[in-house]
Amino acid sequence: MAIPAKNEDIEVTISDLSYEGLGVAKVDGFPLFIDNALPGEVVLAHVTKVQKQYGFAFNKKLLKASPDRVDVHDRIYTQTGIAPLQHLSYPAQLKFKQKQIEELFSKQHLDIDVLPTIASPQTTGYRNKAQVPVRMVNGKLETGFFKRRSHTLLPITDFYIQEPEIDQAIELTRDLLRKYDIPAYDEARNQGVVRHVMVRRAYYTHMMMIVIVTRTKELPHADALIAQLTAKLPEVVSIVQNINPRRTNVILGKHSKTLWGRDYIEDELLGSTFRISAQSFYQVNPQQTENLYAKAVEAAELTGKETVIDAYSGIGTISLTMAKHAKQVYGVEIVPEAVNDARINARINGITNVTFKTGKAEDVMQQWQDDKLKADVLMVDPPRKGLAPEFIQAVGSMLPDRIVYVSCNPATLARDITLLAEFGYSAKQTQPVDMFPQTQHVESVTVLKRNAD
C-alpha cells in the first residue's frame, strides 16, 4: 500500500500511544498519528496531513474500542490539548506515564527501574493557575484556548482541569472586558489591548490573584474593572496588570504593576507558608505537590548535617522544605521576583539556614565551585529543556555525593542521566508522580549517587 494521501479514509489498528497521547498506527511502516485513538482499537481514520516521515489523522469512526476507553467530558478538551488523555481511563493514564519513562530510558540504554506512577488526589479541577488568551471571535471578545497546532481560539468557560473558582473569575473578567468595550489583542496586526487573563488561586488560603496581560501601558476602565471584580469575587486580594508589548508567544512581559491590593497571594505547603507573586513559578497541582516534594526530601536522605544546593529554586518551596532537615541550603533562581519571594518566605517561616542567589543556575554553580563550596546533596528541578551543559560541567567539578532530580520531561531526564554518568553518577530507580491528570505530562523523582571509585 502507498503512503496515505491527505483526506483519504483508511481502516487501521492502533499499536501504541505517542508521547503526546495520540494513537499510533503503521501503514506499511508509515506512522500515522491519530487523534482520539487508543492501543488495540480499530478505527476508520481520516488523514489530515502527510509529511515525508509521518502523517496525522483523526478518528472518523471507532470500529473496535479499547477496554481502557472512557466517555469524554467534552471533545473541545481534546481539540485544544487541555485534556488530551480524557478518553483514557485514569489507571491506564498512570501506566502510560510509567511506560513513557521506561521507553525513553531504554532508548538511552539506562537500566533504571521505573516504579508505578503515584496517582493524583484529584483528576479534574486540580489546577490552581490559569493563563487564558483573549481574542475576538466572530466579532465578539472571547476567552478560551487555542486549537492544537493553530492560532484559532475556541471559546471555553468550563476548563475541566482548573479549579471552578478560577473558571468563574475568568468568565467574569471576560464579561467586564465586553461591557467596557476593551479591545482584545489582535496578534496578526499586533494591535488591541488585552492579550491574556491569568488567575492564581491558593488551595489552602483561597486567596486569588487576577493578572490582566496587556499590550499597552494603560488599561482602559481599570478602576471600573477593579470595583466590579472585587465586589463580585470576595476571594480576590490582588489585581495586577502585566505589560507585554512584544510580538511573541511568551505570555507574560517583564513589567508588572499592582492595580489593587497586594503584590502576592499566600499559600501553604508541607507546613510552611509561601508568598507567590505574578511572575513566580509555583506548582499547579497543590495536593500532589506535597506528595512530590515529600518524595524529594525522602530521596535526599537528610540527617541534619548536610549542605544542600537547590538549583532552579523558584520561590523556595523545595529549599525551605529541605532546610528543616539539613544543616544549610543554598538556592539559585534566575527570576528576581521569585528570589525576592523566596527570601521573604524564609523570613515568614523563621528559617535562617538558607541563602538565595539570583542568576543562571550554571553560572552560580560554577561560582560556588570556584569559592570551594561543597554540597552533599544537589537538588535540581529544571524547566522542560533540562540541565544546561555548563551546569552538568559544574556538577562534574563540584561532585556532590547525591543528586535528587525532579523532572517534568522524561526525554531530557534520560539525556541528563546519561551525561551525568560520565562523572560517575548512576540511578537505580525513578518514581513517576502524576501532577497533570488528563494530560500526557509526567513529573518524576530520581536519585543519582556517585559510584565508589
Each residue's pLDDT tens digit, 264-300: 999 999 999 999 999 888 999 999 999 999 999 999 9
Q: Residue 71 catalytic?
A: no
Instruction: Answer yes or no: do 295 and 412 share one domain.
Output: yes
Q: Where residue 139 sits, what CATH number does that domain have?
A: 2.40.50.1070
Mean per-residue pLDDT, 45-56: 94
Instruction: Answer yes or no: do 133 and 112 share one domain.
Output: no
CA separation for the pair 328, 309 (Å, rounded): 9
Does residue 86 belong to any structural domain of this protein?
Answer: no
pLDDT at residue 240, as a whole number: 98
pLDDT at residue 444, as a whole number: 98
Q: Is 178 helix (H, G, I), strand (E, B) or coil?
A: helix
Query: Where does a domain end: 269, 304, 337?
Result: 269
Tell me which residue of 86, 76, 79 sits closest to 38, measured CA to CA: 86
Does residue 276 belong to any structural domain of this protein?
Answer: no
Cell numbers at residue 328, please? 544549610
Instruction: Answer yes or no: do 322 and 420 share one domain.
Output: yes
Q: Which amino acid is at 67?
A: P
Q: Which amino acid is at 383?
A: P
Instruction: Answer yes or no: do 212 and 300 share one domain.
Output: no
Q: Is 36 helix (H, G, I), strand (E, B) or coil?
A: coil
In terms of pTM, does the model score above 0.85? yes
At CA 142, angle to CA 134 and CA 131, rounded to 5?
40
Q: How far is CA 390 from the centre of its chain?
A: 24
Mean per-residue pLDDT, 417-438: 97
Q: Is 330 helix (H, G, I), strand (E, B) or coil?
A: strand
Does residue 74 belong to any structural domain of this protein?
Answer: no
Has residue 1 got a pLDDT over 60?
no
Instruction: Answer yes or no: do 247 and 388 share one domain.
Output: no
pLDDT at residue 309, as a whole number: 97
Q: Which conformational region is residue 14 in: left (phi greater than 0), alpha (psi within -120 to 50 degrees), or beta?
A: beta
Overall number of domains in the chain: 3
Mean residue pLDDT across the chain? 95
Does residue 79 belong to any structural domain of this protein?
Answer: no
Has residue 424 got a pLDDT over 70?
yes
pLDDT at residue 289, as a whole number: 96
Q: Which amino acid is at 389?
A: P
Tell me the DSSP string of 355-416.
Answer: EEEES-HHHHHHHHHHTT---SEEEE---TT---HHHHHHHHHH--SEEEEEES-HHHHHHH
CA separation for the pair 31, 50 (Å, rounded): 10
Q: Where residue 41 sits, what CATH number does that domain have?
A: 2.40.50.140
Q: Given CA atoms 295, 299, 304, 310 in this order, what sign does their dihedral have?
A: negative
CA separation for the pair 33, 104 (Å, rounded): 19
Return the top range by mean pLDDT from 49-58, 227-236, 360-369.
Answer: 227-236
Q: In this structure, what are the phi and psi dihedrals at residue 195, rounded to the nearest 5 degrees? A: -95, -50
Does residue 275 belong to any structural domain of this protein?
Answer: no
Does residue 330 belong to any structural domain of this protein?
Answer: yes
Mean per-residue pLDDT, 189-201: 97
CA separation for the pair 35, 20 (Å, rounded): 10
pLDDT at residue 2, as a whole number: 76
Query: Where does a domain end: 269, 298, 331?
Result: 269
pLDDT in tens, 127-164: 999 999 999 999 999 999 999 888 899 999 999 999 99
Cell numbers at residue 285, please? 497541582
Cell numbers at residue 265, please? 497571594
Q: Between residues 421 and 369, which one has the greater pLDDT? A: 421
The single residue listed with the C-alpha cell 493553530 is 150
pLDDT at residue 453, as a whole number: 58
CA separation for the pair 33, 59 (Å, rounded): 10
Q: Given CA atoms 24, 27, 32, 35 in this order, what sign does their dihedral have?
A: negative
Q: Given CA atoms 113, 396, 387, 352 in this order, what sign does their dihedral have?
A: positive
How sure is the predictor about 333, in pLDDT bands with cuts at 50, 70 and 90?
A: very high
Q: Is 437 helix (H, G, I), strand (E, B) or coil?
A: coil
CA separation for the pair 203, 367 (Å, rounded): 37
Instruction: Answer yes or no: do 302 and 257 share one domain.
Output: no
pLDDT at residue 452, as a whole number: 67
Residue positions counted in the chain: 453
Instruction: Answer yes or no: do 295 and 433 share one domain.
Output: yes
Q: Which amino acid is at 256?
A: S
Has residue 312 got a pLDDT over 80?
yes
Does residue 39 belong to any structural domain of this protein?
Answer: yes
Domain range for 358 = 97-121+285-450
Has residue 57 got a pLDDT over 70?
yes
Q: Which amino acid is at 66?
A: S
How would you list the strands of the sheet with 377-380, edge to edge? 113-114, 425-433, 443-450, 402-407, 377-380, 307-311, 328-333, 354-358
Cell numbers at residue 252, please? 507574560
Catalytic member of 76, 229, 408, 435:
408
Does residue 3 belong to any structural domain of this protein?
Answer: no
Query: Where does a domain end: 54, 69, 84?
Result: 69
Q: Give the DSSP H or E segment for 228.
A: helix 222-232
Instruction: Answer yes or no: do 254 and 353 share one domain.
Output: no
